[in-house]
Amino acid sequence: MSLISLSLCGILLQPSLTPAPMLEQVYEDTYGCLLEVAEASPKAINPNQLYRYFPGDSKYWPVFTADHIPSKAFDSYIDSNVKPGIVIPLSSTKNFSFSTYKAFRSAVKRGAIVIVQGQTANQSELYSAATFALAVGLRPQLFLKNNHLEDSFLTYESGSYLFNNESNTLHLPVPNGLHIVQEKTVIPLSSTKNYGSGLQAIVNPSFDPQIVESIEYPPLGVEWTYAGSHFISSPEGLKTGPMGHAWTLITLIAVPIGVFLAGDLPNFFAMGATTISYVSVVFGSLLIGLFIIAIIRSRRS
């Protein structure tokens, strides 16, 4: 794939794909100058090196995946009064066992902040996972997007979103800092520290006193709509209507039923989506049956 050249404040960058207009605007707002197509040049740099030209105070926030929650690094940050983020596995993952779930519950009780992630630009995938996480006591306060920042993001609901800079290396990375995109906060995430200005989430970092001294928490809180019910999750708690609580309860019931029907431990979240339809049918059938019985008794009396 051929590279393109972009000019930002006179600095030439070479991503592989032209950025979406939304991401262009983020760059222009962050660095204060236009991002323009330029002639190819051997002096162009990798976009990941751009931070070297804009030095400033760096802020960090540690984020851990399921396999790193038992690590000494995670314990060290907790012991240092740091509340790290913990990322719920993708809904397509088939290894989210109840032992892993217990590890997540324990981490939340110790102060960890739950992050639900989505693999694609499909909103329903992300919002379904958020509802299931909520139902089992893992209330999310951030979302993680594993696809690049594109204009379809405008249709997402308000809240704080991490964007994984290492999942789409052909695109421009989201620059360090907090970026506001139509009432949504965008924060970059990667596995390496970049000493540029602004906040950066670091996934599975080793314990680093420098990070502890430079901790800055992203704004917490997300919103989503599932099955017609609106949910708002913030540090203060959860806000939703009666139907939202009902869907959460139905989902909570669906999870153990799915385990029983499958005979083993299926995908923790995906089986919830499958089983919830069966629970809804059974529940509706029972209500109809009770209604018919009430009518028959009423006529006999």
pLDDT per residue as tens, the chain (301 positions): 567 889 999 899 888 888 889 999 999 999 999 999 888 777 888 888 888 888 878 899 999 999 999 999 999 999 999 999 999 987 544 456 778 888 999 999 999 999 999 877 788 889 988 988 898 889 999 999 988 888 889 999 999 999 998 887 778 899 999 999 989 999 999 998 877 778 999 999 999 988 899 999 999 999 999 888 999 999 999 999 988 888 787 777 765 554 444 444 444 444 444 455 455 555 656 766 676 676 666 655 5
| 22/199 Cα distance (integer angstroms) | 19
Q: Domain 58-239, what fold?
A: TIM Barrel (3.20.20)
**Measured CA distances, 215 to 41, 76, 209, 211, 300 (Å):** 38, 14, 10, 6, 72
20, with CB counted inside 10 A (0-12, 13-18, 19+), is middle
pTM value?
0.81
